[in-house]
Structure 1
Amino acid sequence: MTSDPRIGAISLPDTRARRVVEQLLEGSGVALNGLAPWDMQILHPDLFSRLLHQGTLGLGEAYMEGWWDCERIDEMIHRMLRHGLGERAHTPTERMLYRLQNGLFNLQSKARAYIVGEAHYDLGNDLFERMLDPTLCYSCGYWRQADTLHQAQVAKLDLAARKLNLAPGMKVLDIGCGWGSFAEHAARHYGVEVTGITISKEQAELARRRCQDLPVTIHLQDYRELEGQYDRIVSIGMFEHVGHRNYRTYFDTVARLLVPDGLFLLHTIGSNNSEISADPWIHKYIFPNGVLPSAMHISRASESYLLMEDWQNFGADYDRTLMAWLTNFTARWPEIADRYNETTRRMFRYYLSACAGAFRARDLQLWQIVFSMGREGRYDAAR
C-alpha cells in the first residue's frame, strides 16, 4: 500500500458527471484529490460517470481496479454516510434488480446454502488466520473491558456462554460454528458437549483439528437438516445468511431442537430499517445472497416460536473489531501475497474499511438476543 495515495492522482476533467459527484459530496467533508487522509484521489478520468451509472457497486469495483485511492476509506465512508449519501448511492436500476431477484427467487434456499461458503469462507484459511485473532472469531468482539482484539473476542465468547448459563454436561448446538471458536471455548471452559455446523469445508476441517481433544463434533451441514434435542443453542454471525424468506423456518427449527427449559442466543448484524436490500458490492464479492435483518424481522419471525428474554446492542464495537482486522491484514499481507493477487488485497481493504465506516456512522448494528421457550422464573442476562 502506497504511503501517500495522492501520488498519481490525475487532474480532474470538467465534466457534468464530475460536477454531479462534487455536488453530492458537498458538505460531507470529503473532497476530490484533497489533502485530508479521507479524501478520494482520482486515478481514472471515467470514474465519475461510472459512479453515477453503477452506484456503490461501481465505487467498490473501481477501487479494486485502481481507479481511485484513499488513505482512510473508513473515514471517507463514515463521512459519506453521516452526510446521507447511503441511500442516494444506490441507483434505481440496482434497487429494482435486487427486489425483482428477491421476489422471484429464494436466494438462501437449501440448494443455495453453500454458495457463500465456497465464495468467501473457503477462500483460504491462511488469509483468515492472519487477519483474525487466535480464537478465529469472524464476528464482532466485545470491547467493554478489552484493550486488544484477542481480549475482545474472548470476552464476546464468554459473554455468550454466560448469557446461556452454560453448565457441565449440557448439550449445545452451534449453528454456523465457523472455525470452531465458540465450540472450543464452551467445551474447554464450561464442560459442555458441542455440536457445530458450518457450510464451509475449510472451516469444518480446521474446526475439527482445533477441537480434536474436546467433546466437540463438527458437521458440514445446513441448519434445515438438523435433528435432535439440545439444552442450549447459539448462532454467532450466521443469521445474516438466512434471508427473509427463511426467517420463520429458522426459528421453527430452533424451537424444535430446543428442550423446554432451554435457551437460544442469536448474535447478528442488524439493519436500521426493514427494507429488503443488500449492498450490491458486498452481495457480489463478499457475502453472496446475504441480507441483514431488522428488529422487526426478528421479532415477527420469532414470536410464534420463542420468548425474547434479552436484547443487547453493541454495534459500535464492530468498528473497532474491523479496524483491528484491517491492521492485521495489512501487516501480514506480505506473508501470503504470493498466493493471492493485488485485486484480492484491495477487495479486502475496501471491505474491512467500508464496513468499519458504516458501523462508525451507526448505519449498522450488532445484536445479541436471548430467547427461551417460555421458561418459568426470571432471566437475568450477563453483561
Structure 2
Amino acid sequence: MTQDVRRPAAHGDRDLPAGRRGRKAPRKRRTGRIVLLVLLVLVLAAGGGLYWMYASIDGNIKAVDITKELGDDRPAKVPTTGQNLLVLGSDSRAGANAALDGAAVSGARSDTALVVHIPEGRTRAVAVSIPRDTLVTRPECTRKGGGTAPSAQRVMFNSVYSQYGPACVVKTVEKMSGVRLDHYMEIDFAGFKDLVDAIGGVTVDVERPIKDTHSGLDLAAGPQRLDGTQSLAFVRTRYGVGDGSDLGRIGNQQKFLTALLTEVKRQDLLGSPAKTYEIADSATKALTTDAELASLTALGDYARSLNGVDPANMETIMLPVAYDKKDPNRVVAHEPAAKQLWTAIREDTDIPESAKKSPATGG
C-alpha cells in the first residue's frame, strides 16, 4: 500500500481498493454458490413446474448475442458433458444504483465475476472468483461504437466490461484461462430491489452497526429485516463498512445473497402461483443472458440439467493473485498456482490445494 490511511474512496478513484494489503480473505468463498443458485434456482426453480405458465415474462430477459464477436479463435470445447458458465454481478451506476452515489458517477462495472465450472456428471460445481482489480491482457475486442480495439496489456479486469461490453469480457476470460465458456449470465444488483419487495423483505444479520450518510442507510448490529430500498443500499454501501474499501461491500453482497436465497427457500412459493409470478417477473427483469438461454423455456431446460448439483458440493475459489510489483493497488495472477487452477478446470480434474493459495489474501 502507498499509505496506511483509512478513507472513503473519492468518485474519481472508486476502483482503488484502499486498505487491502494485510487483510486476509477466506480462501474458499461461497459467493459462487449463492450467485449461481440465485440465477439458476431463484429465477427458475422458484416457480418450479409452473415456469412454463409465464410466457408473458419471457420479454423481461435481456439477451446479448456474443457469438459473432467471439469468432472462431477460442479455446477448444472439451468433449464432455461438463459446463462452464461466466456469471457477472453488475452495477449499472444508473437508476437506483446511481442514487446511492449521489448520481455523481455513470457507466457500468462488473463488480462480481465468477467462472462456474460444472464437471461431467453435474453433481457438484466450482466457481472461480476473479478479483475486479486484477491486471490482465485484454485481447482485440469490438468497440461499442463499431470498429476494433487492439489487444492491450496490464488492463484492469473490471474496466473491460464498462469499455467494451460482455463479449469482450468473455474473450478476456477465455484468453487468460484457456477455458471455453458455454454460457454467459449477468444480474444487475439494482434489480434486487423489486425482487426483495416481492418476497416481503429479507432478514440479514448485521455484524457491526452501519451508518452511511451517502445512502442514508442506518442499521444497528444484529438481525435486521430489510425492504427493497434498504437491501439495495446494503449491497451497495462501502462508506459505512470497515475502512471504506470494496472488501466490506463484497462481504455485504455475499451475506445478502445468502439471506435472499434462504428467504426464498423458506417460503412456499409453489403454494402461491401469484407470488411466484411476481418474484419471477422481478428476477428476470434483472437478468441478462447469452442469446441461447434468453427464454424461460431455455433457462428452465438448463436449470433442470443442473438439478443434480448439490449445494453442499459447491465451492468458490478465488483466482490465486499477488500484489503487482509496480502498482500495489492492483493484483496479478499468481503463478504457477493460477495455471494449475485453469488446467484442472479445462481437464475436468480435481483442483490441487496448491492452486488455491493466494499471496494477496495471506493464503
TM over 0.5: no
Q: TM-score, normalised by structure 2?
A: 0.26
Question: Which is higher, the Rg of structure 1 or of structure 2?
Answer: 1
Using CA pairs under 8 Å that are at least 6 residues apart, name the structure with larger relative contact order, 1 or 2. Answer: 2
Q: TM-score, normalised by structure 1?
A: 0.25
Q: Which of the pair is proportionally richer in helix?
A: 1
